[in-house]
Structure 1
Protein backbone atom coordinates (compact mmCIF):
# COMPACT_ATOMS: atom_id res chain seq x y z
CA UNK A 1 0.00 0.00 0.00
CA UNK A 2 1.24 3.51 -0.77
CA UNK A 3 1.63 5.91 2.12
CA UNK A 4 -1.17 8.05 0.64
CA UNK A 5 -3.64 5.23 1.35
CA UNK A 6 -3.09 5.84 5.07
CA UNK A 7 -4.74 8.91 6.66
CA UNK A 8 -2.29 11.77 7.18
CA UNK A 9 -1.23 12.34 10.80
CA UNK A 10 0.12 15.77 11.75
CA UNK A 11 2.62 15.80 14.61
CA UNK A 12 2.71 19.30 16.08
CA UNK A 13 5.65 20.65 18.08
CA UNK A 14 5.36 24.02 19.84
CA UNK A 15 9.10 24.57 20.31
CA UNK A 16 10.85 26.81 22.85
CA UNK A 17 14.60 27.11 23.47
CA UNK A 18 15.36 23.35 23.62
CA UNK A 19 17.29 22.45 20.44
CA UNK A 20 18.96 19.38 21.98
CA UNK A 21 15.82 17.62 23.18
CA UNK A 22 13.89 18.86 20.14
CA UNK A 23 16.34 17.01 17.93
CA UNK A 24 15.65 13.79 19.85
CA UNK A 25 11.91 14.42 19.55
CA UNK A 26 12.09 14.97 15.78
CA UNK A 27 14.19 11.84 15.28
CA UNK A 28 11.57 9.82 17.15
CA UNK A 29 8.93 11.00 14.65
CA UNK A 30 11.10 10.25 11.64
CA UNK A 31 11.58 6.74 13.07
CA UNK A 32 7.82 6.00 13.16
CA UNK A 33 6.61 2.84 11.42
CA UNK A 34 3.38 4.60 10.38
CA UNK A 35 4.04 5.77 6.82
CA UNK A 36 2.07 9.02 6.38
CA UNK A 37 3.15 11.75 8.82
CA UNK A 38 3.82 15.46 8.50
CA UNK A 39 5.72 17.43 11.15
CA UNK A 40 4.76 21.02 11.98
CA UNK A 41 7.16 22.96 14.20
CA UNK A 42 6.25 26.46 15.37
CA UNK A 43 9.19 28.03 17.18
CA UNK A 44 8.49 30.42 20.06
CA UNK A 45 12.15 30.57 21.08
CA UNK A 46 13.81 33.72 22.35
CA UNK A 47 17.00 32.95 20.43
CA UNK A 48 18.05 31.32 17.13
CA UNK A 49 19.43 27.99 18.38
CA UNK A 50 16.39 25.98 17.29
CA UNK A 51 16.28 27.73 13.92
CA UNK A 52 19.95 26.94 13.30
CA UNK A 53 19.50 23.30 14.33
CA UNK A 54 16.55 22.93 11.97
CA UNK A 55 18.57 23.81 8.84
CA UNK A 56 19.90 20.31 8.28
CA UNK A 57 16.46 18.72 8.75
CA UNK A 58 14.66 21.03 6.34
CA UNK A 59 17.09 20.21 3.52
CA UNK A 60 16.59 16.46 3.97
CA UNK A 61 12.99 15.92 5.03
CA UNK A 62 10.22 17.57 2.99
CA UNK A 63 7.57 16.31 5.44
CA UNK A 64 8.87 18.84 8.00
CA UNK A 65 7.46 22.38 7.99
CA UNK A 66 9.14 24.91 10.27
CA UNK A 67 7.93 28.38 11.30
CA UNK A 68 9.84 30.90 13.45
CA UNK A 69 7.49 33.25 15.26
CA UNK A 70 8.32 36.94 15.12
CA UNK A 71 7.03 37.34 18.68
CA UNK A 72 6.27 34.99 21.54
CA UNK A 73 2.77 33.55 21.06
CA UNK A 74 2.64 31.32 24.17
CA UNK A 75 -0.72 29.48 24.00
CA UNK A 76 -1.24 31.01 20.58
CA UNK A 77 1.68 28.91 19.36
CA UNK A 78 -0.38 25.79 20.05
CA UNK A 79 -3.22 27.25 17.99
CA UNK A 80 -0.84 28.19 15.18
CA UNK A 81 0.45 24.59 14.98
CA UNK A 82 -3.12 23.30 14.85
CA UNK A 83 -4.21 25.75 12.15
CA UNK A 84 -1.23 24.84 9.94
CA UNK A 85 -1.86 21.09 10.21
CA UNK A 86 -3.10 19.34 7.07
CA UNK A 87 -3.63 15.94 8.70
CA UNK A 88 -6.91 14.25 9.49
CA UNK A 89 -5.37 13.24 12.82
CA UNK A 90 -3.34 15.26 15.31
CA UNK A 91 -0.71 14.38 17.90
CA UNK A 92 1.13 17.13 19.75
CA UNK A 93 4.70 16.39 20.83
CA UNK A 94 6.40 18.46 23.51
CA UNK A 95 9.92 19.42 22.51
CA UNK A 96 11.40 17.57 25.49
CA UNK A 97 9.40 14.33 25.08
CA UNK A 98 9.90 11.31 22.81
CA UNK A 99 7.72 8.92 20.78
CA UNK A 100 8.10 5.14 20.74
CA UNK A 101 8.57 4.14 17.09
CA UNK A 102 5.23 2.25 17.06
CA UNK A 103 3.21 5.04 18.69
CA UNK A 104 1.30 6.39 15.71
CA UNK A 105 0.78 2.99 14.08
CA UNK A 106 -0.51 1.44 17.32
CA UNK A 107 -2.94 4.28 17.95
CA UNK A 108 -4.15 4.56 14.36
CA UNK A 109 -5.01 0.84 14.48
CA UNK A 110 -7.98 1.70 16.70
CA UNK A 111 -9.20 4.59 14.56
CA UNK A 112 -9.07 2.46 11.42
CA UNK A 113 -10.89 -0.53 12.93
CA UNK A 114 -13.30 0.84 15.56
CA UNK A 115 -16.16 3.33 15.32
CA UNK A 116 -16.84 6.40 17.45
CA UNK A 117 -13.30 6.75 18.84
CA UNK A 118 -12.59 10.32 19.93
CA UNK A 119 -9.30 9.90 21.83
CA UNK A 120 -6.50 7.32 22.01
CA UNK A 121 -3.98 7.41 24.83
CA UNK A 122 -1.50 5.02 26.42
CA UNK A 123 0.80 4.41 29.32
CA UNK A 124 3.71 6.86 29.17
CA UNK A 125 7.16 6.00 30.45
CA UNK A 126 8.81 8.66 32.58
CA UNK A 127 12.43 9.50 31.75
CA UNK A 128 14.97 11.86 33.29
CA UNK A 129 16.96 14.66 31.66
CA UNK A 130 19.41 12.10 30.25
CA UNK A 131 16.63 9.98 28.74
CA UNK A 132 16.95 7.17 31.27
CA UNK A 133 13.83 5.36 32.49
CA UNK A 134 12.69 6.40 35.96
CA UNK A 135 9.80 5.12 38.13
CA UNK A 136 6.35 6.54 37.35
CA UNK A 137 4.94 9.45 39.28
CA UNK A 138 1.45 9.11 40.75
CA UNK A 139 -0.33 10.51 37.67
CA UNK A 140 1.60 8.36 35.18
CA UNK A 141 1.05 4.93 36.72
CA UNK A 142 -0.36 2.30 34.34
CA UNK A 143 -4.16 2.50 34.63
CA UNK A 144 -5.05 -0.96 33.31
CA UNK A 145 -3.30 -4.23 32.58
CA UNK A 146 -4.97 -4.78 29.21
CA UNK A 147 -5.81 -2.48 26.32
CA UNK A 148 -9.28 -1.07 26.83
CA UNK A 149 -11.97 0.68 24.78
CA UNK A 150 -14.44 2.58 26.97
CA UNK A 151 -16.96 5.37 27.00
CA UNK A 152 -15.04 8.64 27.03
CA UNK A 153 -16.82 9.92 30.11
CA UNK A 154 -15.55 6.94 32.14
CA UNK A 155 -11.94 7.97 31.54
CA UNK A 156 -12.76 11.63 32.10
CA UNK A 157 -14.54 10.86 35.37
CA UNK A 158 -11.56 8.88 36.62
CA UNK A 159 -9.20 11.81 36.00
CA UNK A 160 -11.56 14.41 37.48
CA UNK A 161 -12.50 12.42 40.56
CA UNK A 162 -8.84 11.75 41.41
CA UNK A 163 -7.62 15.29 40.55
CA UNK A 164 -5.01 13.73 38.27
CA UNK A 165 -4.30 13.98 34.58
CA UNK A 166 -4.11 10.22 34.08
CA UNK A 167 -4.99 10.70 30.41
CA UNK A 168 -1.61 12.14 29.61
CA UNK A 169 0.36 15.16 28.57
CA UNK A 170 -0.07 16.59 25.04
CA UNK A 171 2.55 14.12 23.77
CA UNK A 172 0.49 11.12 24.84
CA UNK A 173 -2.80 11.56 22.98
CA UNK A 174 -3.80 11.09 19.33
CA UNK A 175 -7.10 12.56 18.16
CA UNK A 176 -9.07 13.40 15.03
CA UNK A 177 -8.67 17.06 14.10
CA UNK A 178 -12.34 17.55 13.24
CA UNK A 179 -13.37 16.35 16.72
CA UNK A 180 -11.71 19.33 18.40
CA UNK A 181 -14.30 21.91 17.44
CA UNK A 182 -12.89 24.69 19.63
CA UNK A 183 -9.23 25.67 19.76
CA UNK A 184 -6.84 23.48 21.73
CA UNK A 185 -7.29 24.12 25.44
CA UNK A 186 -10.80 25.59 25.13
CA UNK A 187 -13.53 23.91 27.14
CA UNK A 188 -17.09 25.12 27.61
CA UNK A 189 -16.20 28.59 26.34
CA UNK A 190 -13.04 29.14 28.42
CA UNK A 191 -9.41 29.00 27.31
CA UNK A 192 -7.37 27.01 29.82
CA UNK A 193 -3.65 27.77 29.80
CA UNK A 194 -2.06 25.67 32.54
CA UNK A 195 -4.48 22.78 32.05
CA UNK A 196 -4.88 23.13 28.29
CA UNK A 197 -4.33 19.41 27.77
CA UNK A 198 -7.01 18.32 30.26
CA UNK A 199 -9.43 20.88 28.79
CA UNK A 200 -8.86 19.48 25.30
CA UNK A 201 -9.18 15.88 26.49
CA UNK A 202 -12.51 16.55 28.20
CA UNK A 203 -13.82 18.23 25.07
CA UNK A 204 -12.88 15.13 23.07
CA UNK A 205 -14.02 12.58 25.66
CA UNK A 206 -17.50 14.10 25.70
CA UNK A 207 -17.91 13.12 22.03
CA UNK A 208 -17.22 9.37 21.93
CA UNK A 209 -15.14 6.47 23.11
CA UNK A 210 -11.62 6.45 24.51
CA UNK A 211 -8.87 3.89 24.01
CA UNK A 212 -6.20 3.17 26.63
CA UNK A 213 -3.15 1.18 25.42
CA UNK A 214 -1.00 -0.43 28.10
CA UNK A 215 2.28 -0.31 26.14
CA UNK A 216 4.56 2.68 26.77
CA UNK A 217 4.12 4.53 23.48
CA UNK A 218 5.65 7.82 24.59
CA UNK A 219 8.33 9.01 26.98
CA UNK A 220 7.56 11.89 29.34
CA UNK A 221 10.75 13.70 30.31
CA UNK A 222 10.89 15.03 33.89
CA UNK A 223 13.57 17.67 34.45
CA UNK A 224 14.08 20.85 36.51
CA UNK A 225 13.32 23.29 33.67
CA UNK A 226 9.90 21.98 32.61
CA UNK A 227 6.69 23.87 33.30
CA UNK A 228 5.40 21.36 35.85
CA UNK A 229 8.47 21.93 37.98
CA UNK A 230 8.53 25.73 37.76
CA UNK A 231 4.79 26.40 38.14
CA UNK A 232 4.32 24.26 41.26
CA UNK A 233 0.98 24.74 43.01
CA UNK A 234 -0.16 27.22 40.34
CA UNK A 235 -0.83 24.25 38.07
CA UNK A 236 -3.94 23.56 40.14
CA UNK A 237 -5.36 27.06 39.76
CA UNK A 238 -7.68 26.13 36.88
CA UNK A 239 -8.77 22.73 38.16
CA UNK A 240 -11.89 23.79 40.05
CA UNK A 241 -13.30 25.66 37.03
CA UNK A 242 -12.60 22.56 34.95
CA UNK A 243 -14.47 20.30 37.39
CA UNK A 244 -17.51 22.60 37.48
CA UNK A 245 -17.57 22.94 33.68
CA UNK A 246 -17.25 19.18 33.26
CA UNK A 247 -20.21 18.56 35.56
CA UNK A 248 -22.32 20.82 33.31
CA UNK A 249 -21.09 18.85 30.28
CA UNK A 250 -22.31 15.48 31.56
CA UNK A 251 -19.22 14.30 33.42
CA UNK A 252 -19.42 13.58 37.16
CA UNK A 253 -23.10 12.88 36.62
CA UNK A 254 -23.71 11.51 40.11
CA UNK A 255 -23.43 13.56 43.29
CA UNK A 256 -21.01 10.93 44.62
CA UNK A 257 -18.56 11.43 41.73
CA UNK A 258 -18.90 15.21 41.91
CA UNK A 259 -18.23 15.19 45.65
CA UNK A 260 -15.23 12.91 45.13
CA UNK A 261 -13.78 15.28 42.52
CA UNK A 262 -14.27 18.34 44.73
CA UNK A 263 -12.77 16.66 47.78
CA UNK A 264 -9.80 15.32 45.82
CA UNK A 265 -9.04 18.83 44.63
CA UNK A 266 -9.49 20.29 48.12
CA UNK A 267 -7.08 17.69 49.54
CA UNK A 268 -4.48 18.78 46.97
CA UNK A 269 -4.68 22.51 47.71
CA UNK A 270 -5.53 22.76 51.40
CA UNK A 271 -1.91 23.35 52.44
CA UNK A 272 -1.55 26.36 50.12
CA UNK A 273 -2.82 29.71 51.57
CA UNK A 274 -3.38 31.10 48.06
CA UNK A 275 -6.26 28.67 47.55
CA UNK A 276 -8.38 29.72 50.54
CA UNK A 277 -11.14 31.08 48.29
CA UNK A 278 -11.27 27.83 46.31
CA UNK A 279 -11.66 25.85 49.54
CA UNK A 280 -14.52 28.12 50.64
CA UNK A 281 -16.11 27.73 47.23
CA UNK A 282 -15.85 23.95 47.40
CA UNK A 283 -17.36 23.83 50.88
CA UNK A 284 -20.29 25.88 49.63
CA UNK A 285 -20.88 23.53 46.70
CA UNK A 286 -20.66 20.45 48.92
CA UNK A 287 -23.22 21.90 51.33
CA UNK A 288 -25.64 22.49 48.46
CA UNK A 289 -25.56 18.89 47.23
Structure 2
Protein backbone atom coordinates (compact mmCIF):
# COMPACT_ATOMS: atom_id res chain seq x y z
CA UNK A 1 0.00 0.00 0.00
CA UNK A 2 1.28 3.54 -0.72
CA UNK A 3 2.58 5.66 2.13
CA UNK A 4 0.04 8.02 3.73
CA UNK A 5 1.32 11.09 5.55
CA UNK A 6 -1.15 12.28 8.20
CA UNK A 7 -0.68 16.03 8.53
CA UNK A 8 -1.59 17.44 11.93
CA UNK A 9 -1.53 21.21 12.50
CA UNK A 10 -1.74 21.58 16.30
CA UNK A 11 -2.75 24.74 18.10
CA UNK A 12 -4.06 25.08 21.67
CA UNK A 13 -5.66 21.63 21.83
CA UNK A 14 -4.02 20.24 24.95
CA UNK A 15 -7.20 18.36 25.89
CA UNK A 16 -7.55 16.60 22.54
CA UNK A 17 -4.21 16.20 20.75
CA UNK A 18 -3.23 12.90 22.38
CA UNK A 19 -6.55 11.32 21.37
CA UNK A 20 -5.93 12.56 17.83
CA UNK A 21 -2.49 10.91 17.75
CA UNK A 22 -3.84 7.73 19.36
CA UNK A 23 -6.42 7.45 16.57
CA UNK A 24 -3.74 7.70 13.87
CA UNK A 25 -1.68 5.00 15.55
CA UNK A 26 -4.75 2.76 16.00
CA UNK A 27 -5.88 3.07 12.37
CA UNK A 28 -5.07 -0.35 10.83
CA UNK A 29 -3.76 1.15 7.59
CA UNK A 30 -0.17 -0.19 7.58
CA UNK A 31 1.91 2.35 5.60
CA UNK A 32 1.65 5.67 7.39
CA UNK A 33 3.60 8.43 9.04
CA UNK A 34 2.65 11.41 11.21
CA UNK A 35 3.86 14.90 10.40
CA UNK A 36 2.87 17.29 13.18
CA UNK A 37 3.64 20.95 13.85
CA UNK A 38 2.79 22.77 17.05
CA UNK A 39 1.95 26.20 15.65
CA UNK A 40 2.95 28.32 18.64
CA UNK A 41 0.42 26.97 21.13
CA UNK A 42 0.10 28.97 24.34
CA UNK A 43 -1.27 26.07 26.40
CA UNK A 44 0.27 22.63 27.09
CA UNK A 45 -0.28 21.22 23.59
CA UNK A 46 3.46 20.91 22.85
CA UNK A 47 4.03 19.20 26.20
CA UNK A 48 1.23 16.71 25.49
CA UNK A 49 2.68 15.93 22.04
CA UNK A 50 6.14 15.37 23.47
CA UNK A 51 4.71 13.10 26.16
CA UNK A 52 2.90 11.04 23.54
CA UNK A 53 6.05 10.78 21.42
CA UNK A 54 8.08 9.53 24.36
CA UNK A 55 5.72 6.55 24.55
CA UNK A 56 5.03 5.85 20.87
CA UNK A 57 7.91 7.11 18.74
CA UNK A 58 9.10 3.52 18.14
CA UNK A 59 5.66 2.44 16.89
CA UNK A 60 5.18 4.86 13.98
CA UNK A 61 7.33 7.22 11.92
CA UNK A 62 6.86 10.78 13.21
CA UNK A 63 8.26 14.14 12.22
CA UNK A 64 7.54 16.80 14.83
CA UNK A 65 8.27 20.53 14.85
CA UNK A 66 7.40 23.08 17.52
CA UNK A 67 7.75 26.72 16.48
CA UNK A 68 6.13 30.13 16.66
CA UNK A 69 2.68 30.81 15.27
CA UNK A 70 2.39 31.22 11.49
CA UNK A 71 -1.30 30.41 10.93
CA UNK A 72 -3.12 27.41 9.54
CA UNK A 73 -2.38 27.84 5.82
CA UNK A 74 1.38 28.32 6.31
CA UNK A 75 1.42 25.37 8.69
CA UNK A 76 -0.37 23.10 6.21
CA UNK A 77 2.06 24.09 3.47
CA UNK A 78 5.02 23.30 5.72
CA UNK A 79 3.48 19.99 6.74
CA UNK A 80 2.98 19.03 3.10
CA UNK A 81 6.56 19.98 2.26
CA UNK A 82 7.86 17.77 5.08
CA UNK A 83 5.67 14.78 4.15
CA UNK A 84 7.12 11.74 2.40
CA UNK A 85 3.84 10.06 1.43
CA UNK A 86 2.18 9.77 -1.95
CA UNK A 87 -1.10 10.62 -0.22
CA UNK A 88 -1.71 13.33 2.39
CA UNK A 89 -4.41 12.82 5.01
CA UNK A 90 -5.39 16.21 6.42
CA UNK A 91 -5.80 15.92 10.19
CA UNK A 92 -6.80 18.30 12.97
CA UNK A 93 -5.48 18.15 16.50
CA UNK A 94 -8.91 18.40 18.13
CA UNK A 95 -10.55 15.74 15.92
CA UNK A 96 -9.68 12.08 15.44
CA UNK A 97 -9.62 9.44 12.71
CA UNK A 98 -11.93 6.43 12.50
CA UNK A 99 -10.49 2.99 11.72
CA UNK A 100 -10.63 2.09 8.05
CA UNK A 101 -11.01 5.64 6.79
CA UNK A 102 -7.50 5.95 5.40
CA UNK A 103 -7.73 2.67 3.51
CA UNK A 104 -11.11 3.61 2.00
CA UNK A 105 -9.75 6.97 0.79
CA UNK A 106 -6.56 5.42 -0.58
CA UNK A 107 -8.49 2.76 -2.50
CA UNK A 108 -10.68 5.43 -4.08
CA UNK A 109 -7.69 7.51 -5.23
CA UNK A 110 -5.88 4.45 -6.56
CA UNK A 111 -8.97 3.49 -8.56
CA UNK A 112 -9.45 7.07 -9.86
CA UNK A 113 -6.04 8.38 -10.93
CA UNK A 114 -7.53 11.57 -12.43
CA UNK A 115 -8.75 12.71 -9.00
CA UNK A 116 -6.46 14.82 -6.87
CA UNK A 117 -8.54 14.61 -3.70
CA UNK A 118 -11.06 12.33 -2.03
CA UNK A 119 -13.46 13.32 0.72
CA UNK A 120 -15.62 11.26 3.04
CA UNK A 121 -18.18 11.94 5.74
CA UNK A 122 -17.71 12.23 9.50
CA UNK A 123 -19.56 11.69 12.73
CA UNK A 124 -19.88 14.71 15.04
CA UNK A 125 -18.89 14.40 18.70
CA UNK A 126 -18.86 16.74 21.66
CA UNK A 127 -15.88 17.78 23.76
CA UNK A 128 -16.01 14.49 25.67
CA UNK A 129 -16.07 12.36 22.51
CA UNK A 130 -19.79 11.47 22.77
CA UNK A 131 -21.49 11.22 19.38
CA UNK A 132 -24.08 13.93 18.89
CA UNK A 133 -24.70 13.68 15.11
CA UNK A 134 -24.40 10.69 12.79
CA UNK A 135 -23.38 12.67 9.68
CA UNK A 136 -21.48 15.92 9.61
CA UNK A 137 -22.45 16.48 5.98
CA UNK A 138 -26.18 15.88 6.38
CA UNK A 139 -27.01 16.54 10.03
CA UNK A 140 -24.62 19.43 10.72
CA UNK A 141 -24.39 21.14 7.32
CA UNK A 142 -27.64 20.00 5.67
CA UNK A 143 -25.91 18.71 2.54
CA UNK A 144 -27.50 16.56 -0.15
CA UNK A 145 -25.04 13.71 -0.68
CA UNK A 146 -26.53 12.97 -4.09
CA UNK A 147 -24.75 16.08 -5.38
CA UNK A 148 -21.41 14.46 -4.61
CA UNK A 149 -21.98 11.59 -7.04
CA UNK A 150 -20.96 13.59 -10.14
CA UNK A 151 -18.36 16.22 -11.05
CA UNK A 152 -21.09 18.74 -11.88
CA UNK A 153 -22.78 18.08 -8.53
CA UNK A 154 -19.52 18.44 -6.62
CA UNK A 155 -18.80 21.76 -8.33
CA UNK A 156 -22.28 23.00 -7.38
CA UNK A 157 -21.86 21.76 -3.80
CA UNK A 158 -18.44 23.31 -3.31
CA UNK A 159 -19.65 26.63 -4.76
CA UNK A 160 -23.03 26.93 -3.08
CA UNK A 161 -23.19 24.63 -0.04
CA UNK A 162 -19.82 24.05 1.59
CA UNK A 163 -20.37 20.98 3.80
CA UNK A 164 -16.86 19.66 4.44
CA UNK A 165 -15.73 19.74 8.06
CA UNK A 166 -13.12 17.85 10.02
CA UNK A 167 -10.29 15.66 8.71
CA UNK A 168 -12.32 14.02 5.93
CA UNK A 169 -9.89 14.80 3.10
CA UNK A 170 -7.07 12.88 1.47
CA UNK A 171 -4.98 14.62 -1.19
CA UNK A 172 -2.71 13.18 -3.81
CA UNK A 173 0.53 15.02 -3.05
CA UNK A 174 1.06 15.78 -6.74
CA UNK A 175 -2.30 17.59 -6.86
CA UNK A 176 -0.89 20.40 -4.72
CA UNK A 177 1.58 21.20 -7.46
CA UNK A 178 -1.29 22.04 -9.84
CA UNK A 179 -3.31 24.19 -7.42
CA UNK A 180 -0.40 25.90 -5.63
CA UNK A 181 -1.19 24.51 -2.18
CA UNK A 182 -2.93 26.56 0.51
CA UNK A 183 -3.12 30.33 0.11
CA UNK A 184 -1.29 31.79 3.10
CA UNK A 185 -2.92 34.61 4.98
CA UNK A 186 -6.45 33.23 4.55
CA UNK A 187 -8.72 32.10 7.38
CA UNK A 188 -11.02 30.29 4.89
CA UNK A 189 -8.12 28.37 3.40
CA UNK A 190 -9.97 25.08 2.89
CA UNK A 191 -12.79 26.53 0.75
CA UNK A 192 -10.25 28.34 -1.42
CA UNK A 193 -8.33 25.10 -2.01
CA UNK A 194 -11.47 23.12 -2.80
CA UNK A 195 -12.73 25.73 -5.24
CA UNK A 196 -9.46 25.35 -7.17
CA UNK A 197 -9.72 21.56 -7.08
CA UNK A 198 -13.40 21.60 -8.10
CA UNK A 199 -12.64 23.83 -11.08
CA UNK A 200 -10.43 20.99 -12.37
CA UNK A 201 -12.99 18.24 -11.54
CA UNK A 202 -10.32 16.83 -9.24
CA UNK A 203 -12.52 15.89 -6.24
CA UNK A 204 -14.11 12.52 -5.56
CA UNK A 205 -16.43 11.39 -2.77
CA UNK A 206 -16.92 8.19 -0.77
CA UNK A 207 -19.95 7.79 1.49
CA UNK A 208 -17.90 6.47 4.40
CA UNK A 209 -17.45 7.96 7.90
CA UNK A 210 -13.69 8.46 7.99
CA UNK A 211 -13.26 10.64 11.10
CA UNK A 212 -14.90 12.26 14.09
CA UNK A 213 -15.36 16.04 14.00
CA UNK A 214 -15.41 17.52 17.49
CA UNK A 215 -17.66 20.44 18.44
CA UNK A 216 -16.32 22.02 21.61
CA UNK A 217 -16.33 25.38 23.34
CA UNK A 218 -13.59 27.06 21.31
CA UNK A 219 -14.69 26.24 17.76
CA UNK A 220 -18.42 26.49 18.56
CA UNK A 221 -18.08 29.96 20.10
CA UNK A 222 -16.25 31.22 16.99
CA UNK A 223 -19.21 30.32 14.78
CA UNK A 224 -21.54 32.43 16.97
CA UNK A 225 -19.35 35.51 17.41
CA UNK A 226 -20.75 38.21 15.11
CA UNK A 227 -17.52 40.09 14.45
CA UNK A 228 -15.69 36.83 13.64
CA UNK A 229 -18.48 35.77 11.31
CA UNK A 230 -18.31 39.09 9.44
CA UNK A 231 -14.54 38.76 9.00
CA UNK A 232 -14.85 35.17 7.78
CA UNK A 233 -17.70 35.98 5.40
CA UNK A 234 -15.88 39.01 4.00
CA UNK A 235 -12.87 36.86 3.24
CA UNK A 236 -15.09 34.14 1.72
CA UNK A 237 -16.67 36.69 -0.61
CA UNK A 238 -13.23 37.88 -1.72
CA UNK A 239 -12.17 34.26 -2.34
CA UNK A 240 -15.29 33.62 -4.44
CA UNK A 241 -14.68 36.66 -6.63
CA UNK A 242 -10.99 35.78 -6.98
CA UNK A 243 -11.77 32.24 -8.24
CA UNK A 244 -14.63 33.10 -10.64
CA UNK A 245 -12.37 33.07 -13.69
CA UNK A 246 -11.29 29.47 -13.06
CA UNK A 247 -14.77 28.11 -13.81
CA UNK A 248 -16.68 27.64 -17.05
CA UNK A 249 -20.37 28.48 -17.37
CA UNK A 250 -22.76 28.00 -15.67
CA UNK A 251 -20.50 27.53 -12.62
CA UNK A 252 -18.87 30.91 -13.19
CA UNK A 253 -22.23 32.62 -12.80
CA UNK A 254 -23.12 30.40 -9.82
CA UNK A 255 -19.97 31.52 -8.02
CA UNK A 256 -20.75 35.18 -8.75
CA UNK A 257 -24.22 34.55 -7.32
CA UNK A 258 -22.71 32.96 -4.23
CA UNK A 259 -20.57 36.07 -3.71
CA UNK A 260 -23.80 38.12 -3.70
CA UNK A 261 -25.44 35.74 -1.21
CA UNK A 262 -22.42 36.06 1.09
CA UNK A 263 -22.66 39.84 0.70
CA UNK A 264 -26.28 39.65 1.88
CA UNK A 265 -25.23 37.70 4.99
CA UNK A 266 -22.58 40.31 5.80
CA UNK A 267 -25.07 43.16 5.35
CA UNK A 268 -27.61 41.38 7.59
CA UNK A 269 -25.06 40.92 10.37
CA UNK A 270 -24.18 44.61 10.02
CA UNK A 271 -27.85 45.60 10.22
CA UNK A 272 -27.85 47.13 6.71
CA UNK A 273 -31.17 45.76 5.50
CA UNK A 274 -31.21 47.84 2.33
CA UNK A 275 -27.96 46.24 1.23
CA UNK A 276 -29.40 42.82 2.03
CA UNK A 277 -32.17 43.47 -0.50
CA UNK A 278 -29.69 44.66 -3.14
CA UNK A 279 -27.44 41.61 -2.73
CA UNK A 280 -30.36 39.14 -2.72
CA UNK A 281 -31.85 40.69 -5.86
CA UNK A 282 -28.52 40.27 -7.61
CA UNK A 283 -28.23 36.72 -6.25
CA UNK A 284 -31.62 35.66 -7.61
CA UNK A 285 -30.95 37.25 -10.99
CA UNK A 286 -27.60 35.49 -11.32
CA UNK A 287 -29.05 32.13 -10.24
CA UNK A 288 -31.77 32.48 -12.88
CA UNK A 289 -29.09 33.29 -15.45
CA UNK A 290 -27.01 30.27 -14.39
CA UNK A 291 -30.01 27.98 -14.89
CA UNK A 292 -30.58 29.46 -18.33
CA UNK A 293 -26.92 28.91 -19.24
CA UNK A 294 -27.06 25.35 -17.86
CA UNK A 295 -30.04 24.65 -20.12
CA UNK A 296 -28.20 26.03 -23.15
CA UNK A 297 -25.15 23.93 -22.34
CA UNK A 298 -27.27 20.76 -22.10
CA UNK A 299 -28.97 21.60 -25.37
CA UNK A 300 -25.58 21.97 -27.13
CA UNK A 301 -24.40 18.65 -25.70
CA UNK A 302 -27.62 16.95 -26.79
CA UNK A 303 -27.35 18.39 -30.29
CA UNK A 304 -23.76 17.20 -30.58
* TM-score, structure 2 normalization: 0.77
Matched, 1:207 2:224: no
Number of the residue aligned with 1:158: 157
Preserved contact between residue 87 and residue 170 of structure 2 (Cα < 8 Å): yes
Query: CA 1:255 to 1:96, structure 2 compared with 1: closer, same or farther past 3 Å?
Result: closer
2: distance between equivalents of 1:111 and 1:255? Answer: 27
Number of the residue aligned with 2:235: 238
Query: CA 1:239 to 1:251, structure 2 compared with 1: closer, same or farther past 3 Å?
Result: farther
Number of the residue aligned with 2:11: 16
2: distance between equivalents of 1:193 and 1:213? Answer: 28
Preserved contact between residue 237 and residue 263 of structure 2 (Cα < 8 Å): no
Offset of residue 26 of structure 1: 0.7
Matched, 1:35 2:36: no
1:25 aligned residue (13, 20, 25): 20
Unaligned runs of 5+ in 2: 290-304
More helix by share: 2
1: distance between equivalents of 2:209 and 2:5? Answer: 20
Query: CA 1:140 to 1:124, structure 2 compared with 1: closer, same or farther past 3 Å?
Result: farther
Query: CA 1:11 to 1:273, structure 2 compared with 1: closer, same or farther past 3 Å?
Result: same
1: distance between equivalents of 2:196 and 2:146? Answer: 26
Query: CA 1:256 to 1:141, structure 2 compared with 1: closer, same or farther past 3 Å?
Result: same
- Counterparts of 1:110-125 in structure 2, within 5 Å, are 110-125=108-123
Offset of residue 282 of structure 1: 4.9
Query: CA 1:131 to 1:158, structure 2 compared with 1: closer, same or farther past 3 Å?
Result: same
Moved more, 99-108 or 78-87: 78-87
Number of the residue aligned with 1:144: 145
Number of the residue aligned with 2:168: 172
Query: CA 1:283 to 1:56, structure 2 compared with 1: closer, same or farther past 3 Å?
Result: closer
Query: CA 1:117 to 1:270, structure 2 compared with 1: closer, same or farther past 3 Å?
Result: same
Query: CA 1:256 to 1:73, structure 2 compared with 1: closer, same or farther past 3 Å?
Result: closer
| Larger Cα-atom Rg | 2
3-state SS, counterpart of residue 167 of structure 2: helix
Q: CA offsets, 1:64-106, max 9 Å, x none?
A: 211110x211232222212211111112211111111111101
Number of the residue aligned with 1:50: 45
2: distance between equivalents of 1:128 and 1:44? Answer: 24
Q: CA RMSD in A?
A: 3.2
Unaligned runs of 5+ in 1: 1-5
3-state SS, counterpart of residue 131 of structure 2: coil
Query: CA 1:273 to 1:87, structure 2 compared with 1: closer, same or farther past 3 Å?
Result: same
3-state SS, counterpart of residue 217 of structure 2: coil
Number of the residue aligned with 1:83: 81
Preserved contact between residue 120 and residue 175 of structure 1 (Cα < 8 Å): yes
Number of the residue aligned with 2:102: 104
Which fold has the larger relative contact order, with Cα–Cα distance below 8 Å and residues 6 or more apart in sequence?
Answer: 1
Number of the residue aligned with 1:224: 217
Number of the residue aligned with 1:3: none
2: distance between equivalents of 1:283 and 1:144? Answer: 26
Preserved contact between residue 185 and residue 198 of structure 1 (Cα < 8 Å): no
* TM-score, structure 1 normalization: 0.81
Query: CA 1:48 to 1:66, structure 2 compared with 1: closer, same or farther past 3 Å?
Result: farther
3-state SS, counterpart of residue 208 of structure 2: strand
Q: CA offsets, 1:31-58, max 9 Å, x none?
A: 1121111101100234472332233433
2: distance between equivalents of 1:90 and 1:219? Answer: 18
Preserved contact between residue 8 and residue 90 of structure 2 (Cα < 8 Å): yes
Offset of residue 285 of structure 1: 6.7
Preserved contact between residue 265 and residue 276 of structure 2 (Cα < 8 Å): no
